[in-house]
């Protein structure tokens, strides 16, 4: 190994020394609608390696509880085993390739998007789309002996308050004549009784819902009002869904009936307005069309920040500690990315570890209508609310996180438009990796990244 240059002596370049290879960690979220996190990580890695072939690269795809969570765990946990099952899709059609993961310690991971996600719909059906398939996956994992179940909530097609998934686990939701209601959020306006006598007990070590929003169940910032429109709900649909969820709350949340009991509208009426107010204040209950609420109220599930929980489970802190530079990314990088999202979790931990971080984004800033990839919806982050304890390595004030990146490259800038970027995402992700590698100090342009403008720090060309 060459000797260190003496103070005041010639620079390494002057004596012909070559800088040691960098240890590069590439940990992106999925680029929704364009590239899964696993594919995005591989493409960015290929681009970086093409420019700096001596560097040591580790890929660690991440997620925040939505689409891609199973793949992130499968890539990070060698002992994970995937089980594929046919389940009932959100529109009643069979989904033949839904799957869940068995993790060490008899922990199961199920992903709502795999069984009840919006992309599984041929067309939106805001009143009758449902979560029955998610309940089937949970039941299958329990039948296989899981002691704890992690439920990744995100990308749902429905606003049914989790009633359909609970039906798959043995609950019954009845109308005034005692008949089972049709699946979906719309029929909940006719809900008159809930029979939990057949509901399966939760697994011994409980259920944890991985959520990335602080959305309550009810009200103007609730599940129907905020997420309904992207699921096809119009004004009248939203009003109907809101009324159905409020009726569900009156019967289930504050009637004081334990699991295994029978709840009727007349016994719940006294809870009325107080019940609705309580549910409206419950952080995260509106996640996945209220599925988080249903699992918490009837199945005793705990709601936890998805991005931070996943980061710890897949070993992100240790991977960052071993890296010289970290690259993360997602479809749209804006203020919501920095609070409760997967990219924010990476940036916060990199900052805490003193490791510079770069971002690859479909586009930067508030997304126009032709965004390369639409996120789940505008939402209040778990991390912004203070209702969930700040995780290790987090930054409590999201505004300070605008200064946590050493550089950002936007695919729309490289490709010229969102349409072009979406047409060939792998190509432009690879280009982005190569561009960041060329811009890194010591790669021929030592000030390109370090002197980029704060807040945006767009690296394009």
Dump pLDDT digits (tens) for 231-274.
999 999 999 999 999 999 999 865 444 444 555 555 444 444 44
Per-residue pLDDT band at 372 (split at 50, 70, 90): very low
What is the model's pLDDT at position 294? 94
CA distance 358 to 341: 16
Q: Could you tell me which residue, 214 or 289, shows the higher pLDDT? A: 289
What is the model's pLDDT at position 20? 83
Q: Do 341 and 233 fall within a single domain?
A: no
Dump pLDDT digits (tens) for 312-365.
999 999 999 999 999 999 998 987 787 678 999 999 999 999 999 999 999 987
Residue percentage of the chain with pLDDT more than 70: 77
Q: Would you say 362 and 332 are in contact if contact means Cβ atoms under 8 Å apart?
A: yes
In a domain, 178, yes or no: yes
With 0-12 / 13-18 / 19 or more C-beta atoms within 10 angstroms meaning exposed / middle / buried, residue 275 is buried
In a domain, 100, yes or no: yes
Q: Do 340 and 262 fall within a single domain?
A: no
In the predicted structure, residue 373 carries a pLDDT above the cut 70: no
In a domain, 187, yes or no: yes
Q: Do 115 and 180 fall within a single domain?
A: yes
Q: Do 228 and 326 fall within a single domain?
A: no
The mean pLDDT of 30-59, rounded to a whole number, is: 95
Q: Do 269 and 322 fall within a single domain?
A: no
Token duo for residue 139: 């039941």
In the predicted structure, residue 14 carries a pLDDT above the cut 60: no
Q: Do 256 and 364 fall within a single domain?
A: no
In a domain, 225, yes or no: yes
CA distance 307 to 284: 13
Q: Do 58 and 75 fall within a single domain?
A: no
Strands in 153-287 per DSSP E: 172-174, 193-195, 207-211, 262-264
Cβ atoms within 10 Å of 176's Cβ, excluding its own = 11
Token duo for residue 200: 């399966």
Q: Do 238 and 280 fall within a single domain?
A: yes
Dump pLDDT digits (tens) for 64-104.
998 889 999 999 999 999 999 999 999 999 999 999 999 99
In a domain, 105, yes or no: yes
- Per-chain mean pLDDT for the chain: 83
Q: Which of 280, 307, 334 is the last residue in one of the domains? A: 307
Q: Which of 262, 291, 307 is the last residue in one of the domains? A: 307
What is the model's pLDDT at position 459? 37
Task: Tell me the HSE value of 161 on the side-chain side, using a 13 A CA sphere.
Answer: 29
State the residue for tokens 């594929």: 84
Counting the structural domains of the chain, the total is: 2
Q: Which of 56, 53, 26, 55 is nearest to 42 (CA)?
A: 26
Q: Do 326 and 290 fall within a single domain?
A: no
Q: Do 73 and 212 fall within a single domain?
A: yes
CA distance 405 to 398: 13
Q: Do 350 and 432 fall within a single domain?
A: yes
Q: What share of the chain is helix, strand, coil (3-state, %, to 5)?
A: 35, 20, 45
In a domain, 273, yes or no: yes
In a domain, 5, yes or no: no
CATH of the domain at 398: 3.40.50.10350
Residue range(s) defining the domain that contains residue 384: 23-62+315-439
CA distance 186 to 451: 53
CATH of the domain at 204: 3.90.1510.10
Q: Which of 273, 307, 341 is the last residue in one of the domains? A: 307
What is the model's pLDDT at position 451? 34
Q: Do 58 and 74 fall within a single domain?
A: no
Whole-model pTM above 0.85? Answer: no
């Amino acid at each position: 190994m060459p000797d260190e240059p003496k103070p005041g002596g010639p620079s390494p370049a002057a004596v012909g020394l070559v800088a040691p290879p960098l240890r590069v960690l590439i940990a992106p979220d999925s680029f929704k609608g364009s590239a899964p996190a696993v594919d995005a990580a591989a493409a960015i890695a290929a681009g970086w390696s093409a420019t700096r072939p001596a560097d040591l690269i580790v890929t660690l795809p991440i997620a925040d509880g939505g689409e891609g969570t199973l793949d992130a765990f499968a890539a990070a946990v060698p002992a994970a085993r995937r089980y594929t099952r046919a389940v009932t899709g959100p529109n009643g059609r069979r989904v033949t390739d839904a799957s869940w993961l068995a993790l060490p310690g008899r922990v199961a991971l199920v992903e709502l998007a795999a069984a009840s996600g919006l992309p599984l719909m041929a067309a939106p059906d805001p009143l009758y789309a449902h979560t029955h398939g998610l309940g089937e996956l949970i039941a299958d994992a329990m039948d296989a002996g899981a002691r704890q179940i992690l439920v990744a909530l995100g990308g749902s097609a429905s606003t049914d308050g989790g009633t359909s998934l609970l039906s798959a686990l043995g609950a019954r939701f009845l109308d005034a004549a005692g008949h089972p209601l049709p699946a979906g959020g719309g029929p909940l306006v006719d809900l008159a009784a809930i029979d939990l006598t057949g509901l399966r007990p939760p697994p011994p070590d409980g259920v944890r819902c991985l959520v990335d929003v602080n959305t309550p169940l009810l009200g103007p910032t609730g599940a129907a009002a905020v997420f309904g429109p992207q699921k096809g709900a119009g004004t009248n649909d939203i009003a109907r869904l809101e009324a159905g969820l409020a009726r569900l709350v009156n019967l289930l949340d504050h009637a004081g009936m334990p699991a295994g009991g029978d709840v009727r509208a007349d016994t719940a009426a006294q809870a009325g307005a107080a019940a609705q107010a309580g549910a409206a204040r419950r952080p995260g209950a509106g996640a996945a069309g209220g599925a988080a609420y249903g699992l918490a109220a009837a199945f005793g599930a705990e709601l936890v920040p998805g991005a931070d929980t996943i980061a710890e489970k897949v070993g992100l802190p240790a991977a960052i500690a071993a890296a010289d530079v970290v690259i993360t990314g997602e479809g749209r990088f804006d203020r919501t990315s920095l609070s409760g999202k997967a990219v924010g979790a990476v940036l916060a931990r990199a900052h805490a570890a003193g490791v510079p971080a770069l971002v690859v984004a479909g586009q930067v800033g508030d997304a126009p209508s032709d965004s390369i990839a639409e996120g789940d919806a505008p939402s209040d982050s778990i991390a912004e609310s203070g209702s969930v304890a700040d995780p290790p390595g987090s930054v409590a004030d999201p505004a300070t996180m605008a200064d946590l990146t050493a550089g950002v490259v936007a695919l729309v800038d490289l490709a010229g438009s969102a349409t072009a970027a979406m047409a060939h995402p792998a190509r432009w992700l690879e280009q982005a990796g190569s561009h960041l590698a060329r811009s890194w100090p010591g790669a021929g342009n030592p000030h390109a990244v370090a002197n980029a403008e704060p807040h945006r720090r767009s690296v394009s060309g």
